[in-house]
Amino acid sequence: MIEFRADGVMCAWTAESSCVEPRYNALLAGIEAVEAIAGFQKRYAQFSHSLRIGIEDGMAYVGHAGGGGHFVYSIVGDCANTAARIESLNKKLKTQLLVSASVLAGVGGLLCRFVGDFRFVGKTEPLSIYEVVASDEQASDAQIQLCQQFGAAMKVLSTGDWNKAGDMFAEILTEFPSDGPSRFHLERCRRCSAVPLVSDSPLVIHLDSK
C-alpha cells in the first residue's frame, strides 16, 4: 500500500522489468478484496458499500515526490493516472474490478470478459478494458454463462449490428437483471441504432469526463 486518498488507497506491485508475477499478484489481491467485501455484506446486510478497483500496467516512478519542504511517498506516472481512470469507469459499468488488457497478458486461471475499448479524456488511443469476474476455481456456473452470453453479444456488436446486439444484451438482462455492462451496452445500442456512429469501431466508447 502506497498511500491513502480520501476513501481510497493506491497500491503498487513492482518489478525491475515487465513480468507476469506482479500483475498476477495485483489481480489476486483485487479478487480477494471483492470477495472480502461481499462476505462482509452477507454478515452485515445494513451496509451496502461497494468496492471499485482499477488496475493498469506500465512504467512509473515510486518514491518520494514533492517540493518546497513537502514530500510524499507516492507513484508518479501515466499508468497511475490511467489506473484511476479505470477505477472510475466502474461507476458507469456498475462493476467492481476492471483492468486493462496489458494487465492480463500472460496471466491464466481467471474468468474475465472484455467490456469495450474506452478512450479516456486526454488520451488519443482507446484502451481495451476487461472485467475480472472470478478465479477459474471460484467461478460459478452462472458467472460462466453470463460471460459466454456477453461475449457473444460483444462479437455481434463488433459487426455494427446495433439492433441484434441490443436484443442480445436485453436477453442477458432477463436472466441477469443487475448486470451493469449489459445494461450499459444495451442503452448504447439503442442510441446508436437511432443515430449510427460516423467513424470508429462499434466497440470504441469515447468518455467525456473523468
pLDDT (0 to 100) of residue 4? 65
Continuous segment of H or E residues that includes residue 80? helix 78-93
* Domain ranges, ordered by start, for the chain: 1-135, 140-202
pLDDT band at 39 (very low <50, low <70, confident <90, very high): confident
Beta bridge partners of 131: 98, 113
Tell me the pLDDT tens digit for each residue of 108-148.
999 999 999 999 988 889 999 999 999 999 999 999 999 99
What's the chain's average pLDDT? 90
- Rounded to the nearest 5 percent, the helix, strand and coil shares of the chain are 45, 25, 35
Average pLDDT rounded to a whole number, residues 33-62: 85
Percent of the chain with pLDDT over 90: 63
Neighbours of 46 (CB within 10 A): 5
Alpha-carbon span 190 to 196, nearest angstrom: 10
pLDDT (0 to 100) of residue 151? 98
Across 53-64, b (16+ Cβ under 10 Å) vs e yields: bbbbbeebeeee
Average pLDDT rounded to a whole number, residues 174-187: 98
Domain 1-135 has CATH 3.30.70.1230: yes
CA distances from 12 to 17, 50, 179 (A): 14, 21, 29
User: Which of 94, 130, 105 has its CA nearest to residue 22?
Assistant: 105
Residues in the chain: 210
Alpha-carbon span 20 to 210, nearest angstrom: 29
